[in-house]
Every structure is written in C-alpha cells, then in structure tokens.
Structure 1
Amino acid sequence: MHEKRLQKIITNMKKHHMDQMVITSPDSIFYLLDEWIHPGERMLALFVNTNGDTTLFINELFPLQKDLGVKLCIYNDTEDPIDYLEKSVNLNKTMGIDKEWPSHFLIRLLKKKPGLQVENGSIVVDEIRMVKDEDEIKLMKKASAINDQAMGKIMEVIKTGTYTELEIGKKLGEIYAQYDTNGFSFDPLICYGSNAAQPHHSSDQTPLKINNSIIIDIGCISNNYASDMTRSMFFGEPDEEYKKIYDLVLKANRSAISTIKPGVKFSTIDQAARSVIEHGGYGKYFTHRTGHNIGLCVHEYPDVSAVNDMIVKEGMIFSIEPGIYLQGKYGVRIEDLVLVTKDSCEVLNQFPKNLIVFDSLK
C-alpha cells in the first residue's frame, strides 16, 4: 500500500464530501497497492472510507503473492461479492463509485442498500493521479526516452517502403521488445497517404506509395507507465499546401508548449495552439482537443481543451498534439509529452520535429 497516496485520496474524499468509496479500475488499484489485478467479469473493488479503513474484495481465482497492506475479503464463484461489500457500506454516508464499475454490480448494491446516496467518485482518485510524484516522473521520462529511440528505428523501417501500415505496427512491437517494455500503450496509428487525414485511422493493409504523407503515432508501456508521441513526414515531394500545414502545426505545437507553466488554464494552452492554425486559415481542420493527461494509462484525466478551465499544476504530464486533416489528401499531427515544472515545462520527447522528406525508398 502506498500510504501517502492513500492519505491524499482520503483528504480529497473529504473535499468532495464523500465518506466512503469503491475504487474498481485496475490502474487505480495498482496506483494504491502496487499490484496489477485484471479481474475480467468478476468483481474487484477496493473499499475506502475517511477513517482510513480499506478492504480489497477479490475473487480467489487471483491469488496474491504478497501482503498488500489492506484487509482482504476473498470470495469464490459460488458467492455474490455484493453480499460481502454491502456489509462495509454505511447507508447514511455518501458513497463515491468508480465510473468504470459495471452497472450490474452497482444495481445489486443499491437494491441491498435502498436509499444509499452515490456519486461519481472517480474525480477523487483522478485529481491525485494527475500530479505525478518523483518516482512516477522518472519512470515516465524513461518511457518517453524509449519511445524516442523506437521512433527513430521504426522510421528507418518505413523508409524501406516494404511494409504495409499493419506490418509496421508488428515491426514496432519487435522494437519495443528490445527495450524490455510491456508492449503498446495503445494500438499504433501508422497512416499512409489519405489515411493520414483521419485523426484516428486504424492501421490496415495500405502500402506506402510515392507522394504519400505519413503519420506515426506510437507509445509503449515501460515499468507500467505509458508514453505517446506523434511525428509526421512525407515520401516523395510534398506540395506547397502540405508544407504550409506542416509549418502551421509545428508552430501551434511550439506555441502551446511556450505557454505552459503552473497557474495557466488548460483552455489557454489549447487556444495557444488553436489560434495559430485558425489564423493560418485551417481552423476547421483542427478537429480534436490539443491534448490529454497521461500516466499509468495513455489517456487520463484531465484534457487540454477549449472547455477545460482547470489550472495547470507542477508535476502534471500531458500531451500537446495539434493537427490539420484535409480529407482525401493528407494530414499532419505533431505530438510531444510535457512535464509541468516549477516555472515552465520540460518536453519529454527529443525526437526531431522538423519536416522529414524521403525522396527515395532505401
């Protein structure tokens, strides 16, 4: 058990007027207990109250190899775990419920505890997880350093022109394995030609052809923490419009990064990127938010968007990834992870952002 993290969560429970909580997402449980448990359809729940009492409800199919520092309630497949959980629940106290908890568990609990007041309690844990401690920062810097190296290696493979988008993804998996990672933090987005005009194109059997734009959006899991980075490039001779939008996206990326420091609103960072692209005449082609927090999961709370007026804090790590997408033609996205420091920020990705053009396959 990470006691300091637990105490922060208990303090935040009080702030949000939640006297008890059920935490069920495996990543949040790992954050507190330093143990990954993937329960599938079976109930996994960490019950916490503001008195500091903690109980982990877990199926016997998942034997624990170490003392997690919490009380255990172990059940089997012939038992309903809600029968055990409801005994810990105080009907007269507000309960926070993890947003990812399947509704069939919650419905059964509410039937056993009619009148129980429940709230979406994920914000309690999310607000603590969004600010990384020193150990987390070291691990995330390492993950991004690996991603930098992987980007360089996979780019050399792409330049051969031998592999489809999907095949490049498989090659990337082999590269990550060389660094003893835990695999992908998300399915890699390898996009050739007009596929790059789809912000979340799923890689397919498209081959690389002359005069294709390329987007490479990749990330790995290293020591349980995620990385994420995007670079755009071109095979052949890019036309003037492609060069223009690349320059705009790069300026937008740098503009957003230059605004980051404690006390700034996330919406201000988003606007710093978006205004560059809007002033360049391509505002309607920047169709997504500027970024997202990252940690144990590749997408965490909160986001960098026009509607998020939350204040940036030291220790946060999030992406800056503006893009322009011209349907049927090509797209450009440039993404870095940034760590908020005492006075500004540190960019975690060092792979170059200048436009790379392959004038021949080799």
Structure 2
Amino acid sequence: MYSERLKKVRSHMSLNQINAMIVTATDSIFYLLGVEIHPGERLLALLIEEHSAVLFLNALFPLKETLPVAVRYYKDTDRPIEMISKEIEDQLTVGIDKEWPSRFLLELMGLKPSCHFVNGSITVDTARLIKTKDEGQWMQNASSINDEVMRRVYAYIQDNVGIKTITESALQEQVKIFNSELGVHELSFTPLICFGENGAEPHHDSDETLLNENQAIIIDIGGRKEGYCSDMTRSFFYGTPSDEYIKVYELVRKANLAAIEAVKPGVRFKEIDEAARHVIEEAGYGEFFTHRTGHGIGINVHEYPDVSAVNEMICEAGMTFSIEPGIYLTGKFGVRIEDLVCVTDEGCVVLNQYPKALMTINVPKLECKI
C-alpha cells in the first residue's frame, strides 16, 4: 500500500516537473509510510526522488517498523540539512512542503544555490485527494462513531438540563468522555460548542457560557479513528424555537441537501458551493452565510481541496469532503448543519447518519408539591 502511495507522489512530481520532493508534514509522512512521528522542533524529512526515498530522523525517535524507504538517523550534534543536501544533485527543481520552517529551508538553499526551490505540497496533497476503498471504510467507521457521540451529547443535555448547570466547556469535556468510551482517544479538533448568540461566531471558542432556556445550540465534533478523521455539526434548540429560528434552520437544512444533491463526478466544486449558497441567497440571508461550503478531510480534518465559490476543480470518485452551510445572525443565534460525503461513480454517499430534522431539548416541567 505504501509503495503505491510513493508511486503516486512520484507521478505527480513528474507532472509538476519536480525532481526531488522533501515531505515534512507529519500527516503526509503517516500517509506515505504508515508511522506517526512527532519530533517536536527537530527535523523530520522524507526526501523522495525518482528512484529512491530516504527518511531523515533524529536518533531519539528510533522506529520499530520496517519501512519501504531508507532511514538515516542523526544526532543532536549533527547537521541534518547538510545530510539532505548531499543526497540532492545540483541544478534540480526541489519541492518543499508548504509549512517547513524557514530555518531549515534557508540553510538548504544556502547549501544548494544552483537548485530551484518550489512549493511542492501539491504532489502529496493530490495523491491524498482520492481515497481508496480502505480509506473510505475507515472514514465511514469514524463517522459512525461520531453519530453515536452526537446521540449521547443530545441525550446528555436532555437528561441533565434543569438538574445541573451545563456550560459550553463542560459539554466539551463530555464529548471527550463519550469518544473515549467508544474507543476514540484522539479528537479531530477541539469540540466546538456554542450556546445562544455565541453560535453566530462560526469559530467561537467554547467558554463558561451557561445553557439557558430558549437558546440555540451548535455542536461541531469529530474524532480520529484508524488514522482518519470524522467531522459533523448539528444544531439544536433548548425550549421553544422562534419562527425566525425555524425558518433559518429549514433554509440551512435545504442548503445542505441541495449541495449534497449536486455532488457527483464531473461537477466543479464551485457548483456545489453555489447549490448551497443559492438556497440561502434566494431567501435573503446570503450575507449571513460567511464561509465556504466545505473542506476536504482525511488524515487531517482540513485537507485539500475546499468547496468554495472560486474552486474550479472537478469532482472525482473517491474525493471526500464536508458540506456545511450556515447562517449566522449576530446577537441572536447561528445554525450550521455539516455532513461528510464521499464521491461515488454516480453521485455520493453521506458518511453521517445522524438526523437533520429540527430537534429540540425539552424544558423540564416543575413539580408542584402541595
């Protein structure tokens, strides 16, 4: 499997006229070699050339696994960039990962002045773009667990509201507990919990805000299982929703469904974004849909490509991404509904099965004792 992945990267290197590629992102190295390495500030680099590949790694992180590439260990007193430079011939085009620290890149550029350095991340990003059958199954498994976590979150709110105080941060902790109970010990991202007007901030940092009666709730959660991420958002309401909330919720739900309906091979990503945006704009809420419709997902929760109004890329079977339209009314509430979809030969399959109909949290009835 990993040899095939390296082969795919080499193919994209050839298409982009890159002679040598230095992969440094830990998630991309996991994709290509199947090992998770987190060396902190120390250099980690996988040099891929046409007929060879070498992983440069600090000796403090010895590997037990047998890899499909050579491994060169270095000590803290060594110069690993010099080791890499000796492997690269002069006058080559060298691809660099998009987030490699400048202290490493500048040293390499000084050692190889005749080489042409370019952002080469597209070679790995494109290889990761089309998910295999196995990857699709792993992502389905992760999403199925995420469905159950969401079910438990909703039940927890319903069972405890009115009995104990529920804050955004406390509910964050419950999300972690539910994931752990289901065998997920790494989250895709910090759970995003928004009560009331906090939901009008798409990336609100959950805090000590209390859940009060007649408030909107946004729950955006995901976990990482078998190396692959899940991501889902649902919006609930505690109490009796206003007519405006019901209207906005239905618009977002219809926008979500319209975008999913548009997903199929041959469609441009901008057309999927337009399908969702059209529903919201036609109802007069266009200015309140303030972000792209979705993002790629896989080993990372945010991957290439994005579902935006400017992305001309064409959908292909195996691509997996989110569909998450939203409406955000400052000082009032926000609504977002997010699903993950995987493109098939004829359309797409939705990885999330948690309901999208408007769900409310019932207000506890007070018992009168005479």
TM-score range, shorter chain: over 0.9
Identify the residue that residue 233 of structure 2 maps to in structure 1.
230
| Deviations 1:195-239, CA, capped at 9 Å, x for gaps | 011000011011100111000000001111100000001011111
- CA–CA distance in 2 between the matches of 1:257 and 1:290? 11
- CA–CA distance in 1 between the matches of 2:306 and 2:151? 28
What percent identity do the matched residue pairs reach? 52
- CA–CA distance in 2 between the matches of 1:231 and 1:361? 22
- CA–CA distance in 1 between the matches of 2:45 and 2:296? 24
CA contact (8 A) 2:2 2:32 kept: yes
CA contact (8 A) 2:25 2:99 kept: yes
Q: Is 2:196 the counterpart of 1:193?
A: yes
Aligned pairs for 1:52-201 within 5 A: 53-159=52-158, 160-161=160-161, 162=164, 163-201=166-204
| Deviations 1:110-157, CA, capped at 9 Å, x for gaps | 111113201110011001101101111110000000000000001111
- CA–CA distance in 1 between the matches of 2:68 and 2:355? 45
Q: CA deviation at 1:165?
A: 0.5
Q: CA deviation at 1:338?
A: 0.3
Unaligned runs of 5+ in 1: none
CA contact (8 A) 2:3 2:68 kept: no
Aligned pairs for 1:194-213 within 5 A: 194-213=197-216
CA contact (8 A) 1:213 1:235 kept: yes
Identify the residue that residue 27 of structure 1 maps to in structure 2.
27
CA contact (8 A) 1:181 1:223 kept: no
More divergent stretch after superposition (112-121 vs 18-27): 112-121
Alignment RMSD (CA, Å): 1.0
Query: 1:361/1:92 Cα in 2 relative to 1: closer, same or farther (>3 Å)?
Result: farther
TM-score computed with the length of structure 1 as normaliser: 0.98
CA contact (8 A) 1:270 1:290 kept: yes
Q: Is 2:222 the counterpart of 1:219?
A: yes
Identify the residue that residue 368 of structure 2 maps to in structure 1.
none
Identify the residue that residue 293 of structure 2 maps to in structure 1.
290
Query: 1:73/1:244 Cα in 2 relative to 1: closer, same or farther (>3 Å)?
Result: same
Secondary structure at the residue paired with 1:100? coil
Secondary structure at the residue paired with 1:242? helix
Which one-letter code corresponds to 1:156 in the other structure?
A
Unaligned runs of 5+ in 2: 366-370
Identify the residue that residue 334 of structure 2 maps to in structure 1.
331
Identify the residue that residue 274 of structure 2 maps to in structure 1.
271
Identify the residue that residue 363 of structure 2 maps to in structure 1.
360
TM-score computed with the length of structure 2 as normaliser: 0.96
- CA–CA distance in 2 between the matches of 1:283 and 1:361? 36
